[in-house]
Amino acid sequence: MTKKPSNPQAANEQPGVGSSTIWGGRFDAGPSSMMEAINASIDFDKRLFLHDIAGSRAHADMLVAQGILSPVDGQDIAEGLTAIVGEIEAGTFVFNAALEDIHMNIENRLSEIIGEAAGRLHTARSRNDQVATDFRLWVRDAIDGIDAGLKAFQGILIDIAEAHAGTVMPGFTHLQAAQPVTLGHHMLAYVEMLGRDRGRFADCRKRLNECPLGAAALAGTSFPVDRQMTAKALGFARPAANSLDAVSDRDFAVEFLAAGSLLAVHLSRLAEEIVLWSAPQFGFVKISDQFSSGSSIMPQKRNPDAAELVRGKAGRVIGSLNTLLIVLKGLPLAYGKDMQEDKEPVFDATDTLELCVAAMAGMLNDAEFDTRRLKDDAGKGFTTATDLADWLVRVAGIPFRQAHHITGQLVKMAEDKDCGLEDLKLADMQSVEAAITDAVFAVLGVENSVASRTSEGGTAPANVRAACTAARKRFLT
């Protein structure tokens, strides 16, 4: 590679790479400071630098292979791009807002390093297909990173489920005691949710894996480019089929944010349960000091702030989805500068989701569950009433609707006596339904209740253990 003297002023005199002549010969004067401020995206899109350079390498290699670019220029470009990666990673690269974005910052620096050959890199390429390619590459990597975090989190939840396959706890509907379940069964419900989240991200990744390079500004290019070659070099499944769609499509970003929003909702639901369960009124779980905080005035307080913040940040991710949908809703084909607003919500949502997944995984990994409290509360609120009704159907042959009515009468009796169903005397039960025998008491204990729920997907401890094994195979291998 023949290095040229670093001369920013000389670089600025080259059409298309300087701050005052970025648009070539079309304009007589440079933009105002306000225009520079609203137009610049370098403060946030600089995180695309590795993807931009990867796209430029693939494009340059293709230009050389097609005889559009000389091998010498191709070699200089490759070496210059390598040098730029080193500068950015070392923190010595100077980002210039006057050059608007990461693409022009890199091109300008490449010109300083290798001279005239840098201007040939943009042959048969527009910033429109360039940024669309970079952004798809970035989102693809973001999906891979989130998936890895979710997989690790699922592993933690499965470990908890396995350890507590037989730990009885109250199951709720309407936040009222409903039926006994096991803690392991409860944790596996979130494993399933996260599994669906991973599936949605995987679907998004599959659909976005088309390469826009070669679409140029919007109509394609007259140069004999090989779009199959660049797509393959960048790991895409195929080139995008339509040049207009290739540069204007941001469905992949919307779909990513939609999947992220639903993940944020799932994390928020679990976080809300942690907030409730850690309160003394529940006392089901203790969150470690690493994920709790105190009060500035109340010395006894132990606040589940990490869970509360995860719950709150769901709104932030959902807001990012709304932002991008609103940006796109009125745009005609093909590219509009509005689309510069696509990256910040995606970047912010990605950072937020990665942090929330890690925080929830760490919090649950350190959590201590009070198994005695869980079991004691599992029987409160007449949670074995359904077991009683089922017994009346199964053993006494009573139709379920009638059994439901009988059980309701017995619950009312227990309420009046301020006792549990299991504490009623047989004679009292028989005063409501003569077919009841003392065998009914076997189904009124919470452990007997959960053990009986052996239907596929049920909460019986044996089911939970088998489900843990199956979940490890489905999600972790």
Alpha-carbon separation of residue 171 from 282, 377, 446 (angstroms): 13, 10, 11
Judging by beta carbons within 10 Å of its beta carbon (0-12, 13-18, 19+), is residue 344 exposed, middle or buried? middle
The SS3 call for residue 189 is helix
Return the structure tokens found at 180. Answer: 């006994």
How far is the C-alpha of 309 from the C-alpha of 275, rounded, in Å? 11
The SS3 call for residue 286 is strand
Return the structure tokens found at 340. Answer: 């510069």
How far is the C-alpha of 229 from the C-alpha of 66, rounded, in Å? 10
- Tell me which of 70, 288, 293, 295 is the catalytic residue: 295
CB 449 within 8 A of CB 460: no
How far is the C-alpha of 84 from the C-alpha of 112, rounded, in Å? 11
The total number of residues written for the chain in this structure: 477
Return the structure tokens found at 230. Answer: 């660049």
How far is the C-alpha of 270 from the C-alpha of 263, rounded, in Å? 11
Specify whether 19 is catalytic: no
Specify whether 295 is catalytic: yes
Judging by beta carbons within 10 Å of its beta carbon (0-12, 13-18, 19+), is residue 380 exposed, middle or buried? exposed
- Tell me which of 33, 174, 296, 455 is the catalytic residue: 174
Of 222, 230, 31, 228, the closest CA to residue 130 belongs to 230
Q: Which residues are catalytic?
A: 174, 295
